[in-house]
Amino acid sequence: MNARKPCSLRLILAGISASLLLLSAPMYSAYAADSTATKAKTYASDSAITTELKAKFLAEKGLDSMDIKVETTKGTVTLRGQVRKESQSELAEKIARDTKGVRGVKNKISVMP
């Protein structure tokens, strides 16, 4: 009779563990789906910010917009490229900072000598 108790106890513990795993699977699945949706929204928002900035740069007279690369990640805009004047770099940064949805700006634009 004592020899059967450890075996029965093991089966009970295995059953409880399996039940907990099955019960937690839908919660994990919902979390994963929510995470995917959040990532998709963030990506769409970042793309919209990048597109809006490129359009604003193109419309801005006196800005070498074709020489400025824009990358947006989680609302943070990184500007890269080369311009002829420091004022152009500063203008691009100001436009980026003033754009809705932008959380921060990293200005890595260099000025040609």
Could you read off the pLDDT of 39-65 as tens digits, one per residue? 666 657 899 999 999 999 999 988 888
| Interatomic CA distance for residues 81 and 112, integer angstroms | 10
- Asked if 78 and 106 count as a contact pair (C-beta separation under 8 A), the reply is yes
Q: How far apart are CA 76 and CA 107, in angstroms?
A: 11
Domain ranges of the chain: 4-111
Along the 113 residues of the chain, how does pLDDT read in single tens digits? 555 555 566 666 666 655 555 555 554 554 455 566 666 666 578 999 999 999 999 999 888 888 999 999 999 999 999 999 999 999 999 999 999 999 999 999 999 98
